[in-house]
Structure 1
Amino acid sequence: MFSVSLRLRPQIHRLPINLNSKSSLNKPFISTMTTTNPKMEEKREQENHSKNSTILSSKVEKMQGILDEDSTGGWDKCWEQGLTPWDLGQPTPVLLQLLDKETLPKGRVLVPGCGAGHDVIAIANPERYVVGLELSENAIKRAREISSSSPNAKCFEFIETDFFTWRPTELFDLIFDYTFFCAIEPRMRASWGTQIHELLKPDGELITLMFPTDDRDGGPPYKVSVADYEEVLHPWGFKATSILDNELAVGRRKGCEKLGRWKRCLNHSQL
């Protein structure tokens, strides 16, 4: 690595170095090798974020293409091909926070469009029986695989059916909707509101994690607003008890989510 003149051949005295030694001789060398450049690290993170965003955008475009061709069976094809950009691969963080704070109703819980069932598994316990509803056969298979070793396996079930035509024998104390309202075509939102009304007990609670609230064209996911929910829920007597920005939103969803909690006025009657 070093250039040595042929004319001058100075005698070089080599010092023995013990590579295993913890002496101060080795410390500067180790420190130099492990020191990271903050600017380089920031640049690397930006490059990784850009790469992940490109991959995600590509998946969304492919997913939308499949659903344009087949709006019903397309969801199952997306699961079959692994085109599920909405799937976090884990329970929704803000839902875990609500569970930790013990602010969720007990009793029967419904999660429409449950996907791989991460939220279903997280909510379920001896005090809450959870039903995960899903139209996709492949999603149901995946959910059952993931949940097979759950200690609360008797506290939940997955049903493959259409949310809009399903008629259960019992109503629910809580309905949790995340990435379902935004997945259906906007023209179907009024029917969503009607079905929520039909499935929830009179004193039950609806929790909506509203996404995406930013301005975008097309879908799914179709852009949503608080007003969109109010439009289809107010006719059934639902009023928001709280609407907050979701500070625990993940990745590109940051700044594009609101957590809404809704209760029905018991003296409401639809004219």
Structure 2
Amino acid sequence: MTLNKAYWENRYLTNETGWDVGTITTPLKAYIDQLEDKTLKILIPGAGNGYEIDYLLEKGFSNVFVIDLAEAPLKNIRKRNPDLPKENLIQKDFFELEDSFDLIIEQTFFCALNTELRKNYASKTHSLLKPKGKIFGLLFNFPLTEVGPPFGGSKEEYQNLFSELFIIKTLETAYNSIKPRSEKELFFIFLPK
């Protein structure tokens, strides 16, 4: 299976988006609610329908960017947020992005990548963060299998993968996951070393 632009575009066009819960999830909402600096430059990679951007805009954050390979979800975000500047919706391969951000929000992108790209993801997110930036979000906590996406993983795997480039501030079972994901998500906050 090739997880390329055509694959993802087809998933959106055929509504095969089982990961899409139609709103921001509770753990991300709770963390965003604690953020005070509305000027933060924020990236949501592999954003999909990007309900996180809706919530951020509603809370007064305006320097928010989403990137996705597929055009369909970006069009959906545009419909919901017609005043969002075009340059904030990036249709491109995440690994080709050159920029810097204060905050990166991880929500179902990492688990959708071919597993051989995980080390590249760690390096790329590290390179995109400003020195005092951070990445936070959710990683799935269920056995890694060949079947996916989504592809699972474990706390130990994530510690090994990210600890070379990041200070692991938080990596724990999310206490406030939505019901279908209860006990299957790890909430994390990583700071670049």
Q: Could you tell me the TM-score, scaled by structure 2's length?
A: 0.88
Query: Aligned residue for 1:251?
Result: 179
1:239 counterpart residue number:
167
Are residue 196 (structure 1) and residue 130 (structure 2) matched? no
Number of the residue aligned with 1:173: 102
Residue 225 of structure 1 corresponds to which residue in structure 2?
154
State the AA in 1 paired with 2:3.
S
Question: Structure 1 residue aligned with 2:68, among 116, 123, 134?
Answer: 134
Q: Which has the higher strand share?
A: 2
Q: CA deviation at 1:262?
A: 0.9
Structure 1 residue runs of 5 or longer lacking an equivalent are 1-67, 266-271
Q: How has the CA–CA distance of structure 1 residues 257 and 109 changed in structure 2, closer, same or farther, with 3 Å as cutoff?
A: same
What SS does structure 1 have at the residue aligned with 2:177?
A: coil
Report the 3-state secondary structure (helix = DSSP H, G, I; strand = E; otherwise coil) of the residue aligned with 1:235: coil
2: CA distance, partners of 1:155 / 1:174: 20
Query: How do 1:52-71 residues align onto structure 2 when only pairs under 5 Å count?
Result: 68=1, 70-71=2-3
Q: Give the conservation status (yes or no) of the 8 Å contact 1:130–1:155.
A: no
RMSD of aligned residue pairs (Cα, Å): 2.2
120-129 or 88-97: bigger deviation: 120-129
In structure 2, the CA distance between the partners of 1:177 and 1:104, relative to structure 1 (3 Å rule), is farther
SS at match of 2:163: helix
Decide whether aligned partners of structure 1 residues 155 and 250 sit closer, same or farther in structure 2, where only a CA change above 3 A counts. Answer: farther
CA offset at residue 199 of structure 1?
0.4
> CA 1:201–1:91 in structure 2 vs 1: closer, same or farther (change >3 Å)?
same
The answer as to 2:29 corresponding to 1:84 is no
Q: 1:8-50 deviations in whole A, cap 9, x for unaligned?
A: xxxxxxxxxxxxxxxxxxxxxxxxxxxxxxxxxxxxxxxxxxx
Residue pair 1:132, 1:156 contacting (<8 A) in 2 also: no
Amino acid at match of 1:85: G
Measured after TM superposition, the shift of residue 100 of structure 1 is 2.5
Which stretches of structure 1, 4 residues or longer, exceed 4 Å deviation after superposition? 103-106, 125-128
The question of 1:95 aligning with 2:28 is answered: yes
TM-score, scaled relative to structure 1: 0.64
